[in-house]
Structure formats: C-alpha cells, structure tokens
Chains A and B, each alone.
Chain A
C-alpha cells in the first residue's frame, strides 16, 4: 500500500464520525417544516440576548484557559523539576481534579462552597454573620469550577512534555551563556509548545462546551450551552440547532487560531539524552517550605473529594441545617454492592469507557503515524478532524449521532445504532478523540525521526519499529491521553443522557437518578467509586 490511500481511509472514517453528524445538524438549522428557510437564523441574529450568551461563552473560555494555565504550568515545573518530601504522592494527588466527573464535581462544590456548604457555614459561624457571606453564582463561580477542573490538562501535558525535554539541550544553552530564565524561555517553553497548545485547546473547548457548571451556578448569567438546552427544552429545535451551529462556528475559529500557533516550526527532541533530574532542594527552609505549600495546596484541591466522601456516608435525609452531618453509616455502599441492579451501571461504565479508549488510542496512533511520520497527503485534514469533536458541545454531538444512527441506509453510512449497546462507546470514542489524539500527536512530534530511520536501517519492519521503537517512546503520551480519555468517558454525563438505554445506563445517569430522588448519599457513594476507578486509571496514566 502506498501512503496516499491510507490517508484517505482514515480521513474518511473520521469525516464519517465527526463531520457527517454535524452536517446533518447544520441542515436541520436551515430547515423549517420540511423546507429550506432562514427563519431560525433570523430569529437568532435579531436577538441581542443570543449575542450576549455567545460573547459570555467566549470570554469565559479564554479566562478559563488563562487561569488553568496559570495554575497548571507552574505546578508541572515544581513537581517535575524540584525534589522535596512527598513529591511523588503530591504529584499524583494534584492530578485528582481530573477524576471528579463534571456533574459530581459541581455537586461537591455546592456542598462545599455553596451558601449552606461547609465553608460558608464555617465562615458564618466564625464571624457571627447573619447569613452566608457569598453566593456561589455567576461568572465567578463558573470560572472557579473551570479553573479547578481544567488546570489538570496543563499540568499533565506539561509534565509529560517536561519529562521528554533533553537535559543536554539545556546544558548546551547553559554553556552558551544562557541563564536559567533564558533556558526556560528559549529552550524549554518552545519544546513544550505542542503540549501547551494541546492543553490550551482542550481547556478552551471544554469550557466552551461546559454545561454542568453554568447550569448549576450560572443563575441569570447565560452561556451558549445553557441557552441551547433551554431552547431545546422549550421545544424550539430549529433555533436550538442555529445556536449549536453558532457555538460550533466560534469553536472552530478558536481551533484554527490555536492550531496556527502550534504549526509552523516544530521542534523535535533529539532522543539521545535524558530529562534533567529533579533538583534536590538542599536548604532545609526551602525544602520544607515547598512541602508545606505543596500540602496546603493539595488539601484545598482535595476538599471537594473529601466532601463527596463525607456525604457518601450520610444516611438519606439526616443533614439539614447542621454544620456537619449528624449521622454517618455505611448503608449507602451496602445497598449499592448488594443490589445487582445498582451495581450494573458501574460495570456498564467501565466496559464502555474501556472499549471507547481502546478505539480512540488505535485511531490516535494511526493518525500520528500518518501525520507525523509518513507526512500523509491528508495529514492536516486528519489532524483537524481529530480536534473537531471539541468544537461541539457534548449534547449536540450526541443528538447528531442519534440522528445519523437512527436510520437504516447503509449506502450513505447510516445504521440503526440508537438503542443498542454500540452507540455510547462510539460517542465516547468520538468525544475523546481530541484528548487522546492531542496527547499522542504531541508525543509523535517530539519523536526523533532518525530513530525510525535507524530501526529501518537495522532491518526492522514497519510493525516491529512501531512496537519496539515508537510505542515505548510514546508510552507516556499514550498513557496520559488514554487515562484522560478513560476517566472522561467513565464520568461522561452530557452525551450519555441522550444515548443511554436501560441495558447500557452508565453510572452518571444513575447518579442523576439518585439526585432526582434526593438520595444524596447514594449519589455521593457512586461518585466516590467513580472517583476511585478514575484515580486508578490516572495513576497508571501518569506513571512512567
């Protein structure tokens, strides 16, 4: 096989999974009662509130990127480059916000920082206030949740990148008279650029499509995702589709802008040396100072998890106006493990997330090999296609997939998958493609092409090179991408709610059900289990 048809095959598969559903949504936006019409578009354009919501989505996302980067990048440097007591454990703990599924995380924030949450009530009592000193609402609350849950992208990607920065390059810079700051600015950051851009991309797109936080904390503050759901709930599907297309358009512009900064000169790491060893802090004051600050930071980061664990022990309906719940028991976990019907969502989530992750990694490796190593003709197209799913809010992607796969027309690539066990893993796969592909592609970009050539010159075949040379070097990138994808799929809420069936209902749907029943303890117990599985996956993903 020559390289050209291969590029076409992957491009077609991705177009079918990514572009085709969106095209159908766009067609829906331009149709009204079976005829072509601009009525919905006009309704959108003339309404100033729609523009306000769109603008809110954009600036919230930009601010989220700035905040997440400001937290995540320094953390990555601290944990990758400095040695202090508890570094390994803390380094793993700091990644934990990633294991808090969106819906569960938002609820935990509510228990913690909400008006009647632990923190607000403690402050109220400490200072003898009449009512809670703040309300967890509006843009500030959304940004808080976003910064908290998304700095992990920067942290993990930057760490994966830092681990692959060659010490010899830094030493070379030093010998040329560059100071530490110059080394950072002229050597390390340019080398990290693929990872940082990938992280910024993920953060921007996740914020743009974020739904739980604006819905719970938004109040009167509207962003596009909540606007779409409100419109759809109100039965105006046409307008909802226009709003969707508008949001997708903004996302695509953001995507193009960020991709521009990623392209151009790419810097390869010559893969001979090793990463700089972590610098031991010898001065006791600095040593313990770093440890104390690290632990304090980790404690703040872990508060939502702790809240969740605490609430999971609260028997139903025993906690009202007290500062802390008055009663605790293991009943919630007992009920969950005894009843096979309650255990099933857990097993469903695990196998569906695993299947989706395997599929995503295969596609990402395929794409990486074609784009970076073989410079396939359709490389740019393929890379764009892998990032497009982020340009679509989860709900919309799900609706679009449901539209495509609800008709039996194999000749135009449509099968009935709605209501089968296949559709949710497929949706997770598409949705997580950007995470895994972003990480794997960044890894490929840091590969030294001469290694491939060396393997070839020593007589290794293509497969052998992939398995023996490429994969081991890529392992950190693959594991990081796969772990994030697995954790995301495991806790996915917005896609699942559209596509689940009784047989395949995942854990987030069961959590929603428990929340609907006011069974906060059970919801929290599910959340804790979800968190533990995600944490295990992330531990595997960040281990090198």
Chain B
C-alpha cells in the first residue's frame, strides 16, 4: 500500500491535473493531450475513455466528490439528462456562436464540438462499394439476412439515435409508433448478433462474422485508415447526425484549466486537427472550406441529414428502448 501511495505522490509534479471523461477513444484523446499540453505546459491532461452512458453514470455517482473536470463527447440528449440532474456548469466558449443554435444546450450548459453522422458500415474485403446497402431499407433485403451485426443499442448513443429515427419516422408518417417497431422487428430478423462494445463490433465485421453494421462515421474512418477492411455508405434517405457535445462538470476542482481545454477543442486549430487526424466532423460551420481535409467536403456534400425530433427522443427514447428490449429483441426471426 505504501508503494502505491508513494507512487501516486510522485505523479504530482506541480502541474494542474485536468481530468477528462470521454467516449472519444485513445486516438483523439492522446492527440488532444499532446497538443493541448504543448500549448499549456502548466496543465497535466488525464483522460479516461468510457461509453457516454458510463460518463453520465459516473458523474452522477461522483456528485459528492467530483473527479472529472470536463465531459468530452456524447450525444446532446445525454447531456440533457445531466442538465436535468444539475450535473453541469454553464460555460460559453468564445467559439459557441459559430455552432448552430440547435447544438447548444440551455444556458450553454453544453455545446456541440463535433457532428457524428450514423452510417451503414460494411466489410470492403467481402463487398464492393456498389454491393453494399445504400439506404436503411436495403438493409432489410433478404440478401443480408443473418449478416447484420449491431452494437448493443441500450448502451450506445449512436444506436439509440438510429433506432429512434425508425420510430420518429413512423410517428411522422403514420402518427403512431407501431410501424417503427415493425421496422425494428424486421431489422432484428436480419441481425445475427448484438455486440457488447465497439471493439467487438469492429472485430466481428472485420472477421466477416457479419458483413453489415449500422454505426458511426469516425470509428469506421479511423479503422479504415489503420488498414482495416471497413467502408461506409451514407444512407440516401437521410441519417441522424449526433451532436457530440462538451461540457464543464459542476463542482470541478480545476475550472480554469477545464475552460481552457474547452476553448481549445473548439478553436480553429483544435477543430482542424481533429478533422485531419482522427476524422471528426467539426461542429463549427465557419471553418474555411479549403483548409478542411477532403473527406469532410465529400461527406458534407453527400450527407443527407435526417430531421430528428431530439427533444421527443430525449423524453420518450427510454420508454421506446425498454419496449424494444422486452418485445422486439430476439423476436424478429419468429415472424
């Protein structure tokens, strides 16, 4: 025990520690740590990588003794729940005016830093781009029966958005949720497996245990840049674009360092770096087009944004997912 205490004491080197909870993954976080620390040598960035739902749970349970300074990443609807539980502190970074108004929380309790579109992912070693499904409906064709692997939707903000889209579309078209759940039941019939975490999802896709998945754009781009045989299509009828927000945790021990970090994430340099190195679509709309990497321009040109009633999803999403979990999951094949 003494060794442990001595060790943790040695770690303190006079720099201000800044603790970040984030689902963004090692690539982005290590990059942010390196770059931001070079700019602010007095700050020691420490990040913990976890699911966005876990971030919310942890911040909630640490309320009495907050450990995190910044919550970096996750769909805005999760941040809304944190707002409802008074877990965040308002902060308006100087770049907030450059993101769309819909991407800012009440009183700027959170602001979107990136936009994360959902995509249809496929294994490029097994399928040519034109063979892959081009839209959500095509995923339901008999060709893909038993070929779809899906990240466990209860744990994932991305999957909740995609499933929510199906129900919201049904509400818009028929005034009722029933058609949406019929759609999800058909999807369940196509699904080979619900997967524990993104890593296993990638692995199953790469190892061709399934050929198709519904997932987010940056993960697929990062994996494919590492040489993995993964590709994506942007659904032609529209796809949910998640606002990946950032926020200051209430009661943070180091508010000044936290604000500086949030400022940096949304700065022109920070946004361009994330876009170039780790495939994040900037939330800022004022960045000069010619300084953005090619893939951003391509994606923005082809991206059809699904109009999502995010507030409705934030209020009813849990009930829909609970219904799906009880009455749809694993039952599609028994139609």
Contact = CB atoms under 8 A, between A and B. Distances in A.
A316 B125 contact: no
A236 B318 contact: yes
B326 A351 contact: no
B125 A518 contact: no
A418 interface: yes
A54 B277 CA distance: 47
Contacts of B329: 220
A318 to B, nearest CB: 9
Interface string B34-60: 000000000000101110011001100
A516 B195 CA distance: 12
Given A402-B61, A520-B199, A520-B203, A317 B228 contact: yes
B223 interface: yes
Identify which of B5, B154, B199 gathers the most chain A CB atoms within 10 Å of its CB: B199
A219 B330 contact: yes
A230 interface: yes
A280 interface: no
Interface stretch (A180-188, A200-208, A288-296, A495-503): A495-503
A490 interface: no
Contact of B25 (A232, A235, A517): A517
A219 B1 CA distance: 41
Contact of B4 (A231, A352, A515): A352
Interface in A401-438: 402-403, 406-408, 416, 418-421, 425
A215 B194 CA distance: 10
Interface in B284-331: 318, 321-322, 325-326, 329-331
A33 interface: no
A471 to B, nearest CB: 22
Contact of B64 (A47, A406, A501): A406
Contact of A513 (B26, B46, B209, B318): B26
Contacts of A110: 200
Contact of B67 (A230, A501, A518): A501
Contacts of B62: 406, 418-419
A513 B46 CA distance: 14
B101 interface: no
A505 interface: yes
Interface in B269-293: none
Given A116-B209, A233-B155, A316-B226, A348 B322 contact: no
A213 to B, nearest CB: 11
Interface residues of A, number: 54
Contact of B325 (A230, A351, A399, A419): A230
A204 to B, nearest CB: 25
A419 B251 CA distance: 13
Interface in A246-284: none
Contacts of A418: 61-62, 64-65
A320 interface: yes
Interface string B233-255: 00000000000000000000000
A236 B331 CA distance: 23
Contacts of A232: 57
Nearest to A50: B326
A425 B5 CA distance: 13
Contacts of A516: 25, 49-50, 197-199
A354 B204 CA distance: 37
B26 A517 contact: yes
B199 A406 contact: no
Given A230-B154, A502-B48, A503-B8, A347 B3 contact: yes
Interface string A491-525: 00000011001110100000001011111100000
A387 to B, nearest CB: 27
Contact of A317 (B200, B227, B326): B227
A230 B321 CA distance: 10
B193 interface: yes
A67 interface: no
A234 B229 contact: no
B178 interface: no
Given A320-B229, A515-B199, A518-B199, A351 B61 contact: no
Contacts of B207: 116, 320-321
Contact of A236 (B63, B155, B322): B322
Interface string A315-354: 0110011000000000000000000000010011001101
A514 to B, nearest CB: 8
Contacts of A501: 67
B288 to A, nearest CB: 32
Contacts of B202: 518
Contacts of A419: 62, 65-67
B196 interface: yes
Contacts of A520: 199, 203
Nearest to A121: B207
A347 B11 CA distance: 13
Nearest to B219: A518
A30 interface: no
B19 interface: yes
Given A418-B61, A515-B200, A502 B25 contact: no
Interface string B1-32: 10111011001000001010000011100000
Contacts of A408: 64
Given A47-B326, A115-B209, A407-B64, A355 B1 contact: yes
A19 interface: no
Given A347-B7, A348-B4, A420 B227 contact: no
A521 to B, nearest CB: 12
A169 interface: no
B326 A420 contact: no
A113 to B, nearest CB: 13
A147 B204 CA distance: 26
7 contacts: A47-B326, A49-B326, A317-B226, A347-B7, A348-B4, A497-B54, A516-B50
Interface of A: 47, 49, 110, 114-116, 137, 215-216, 219-220, 230-236, 316-317, 320-321, 344, 347-348, 351-352, 354-355, 399, 402-403, 406-408, 416, 418-421, 425, 497-498, 501-503, 505, 513, 515-520
Interface of B: 1, 3-5, 7-8, 11, 17, 19, 25-27, 46, 48-50, 53-54, 57-58, 61-67, 81, 125, 154-155, 193-194, 196-200, 202-204, 206-209, 223, 226-229, 318, 321-322, 325-326, 329-331
Given A406-B62, A419-B66, A519-B26, 15 more contacts: A114-B209, A215-B196, A219-B330, A233-B154, A320-B207, A351-B1, A406-B63, A419-B65, A420-B65, A421-B5, A503-B11, A513-B50, A516-B199, A518-B198, A518-B199
Among all A-B residue pairs, the 9 with the closest Cβ atoms: A220-B330, A351-B4, A406-B64, A419-B65, A116-B207, A518-B199, A419-B67, A515-B199, A355-B1
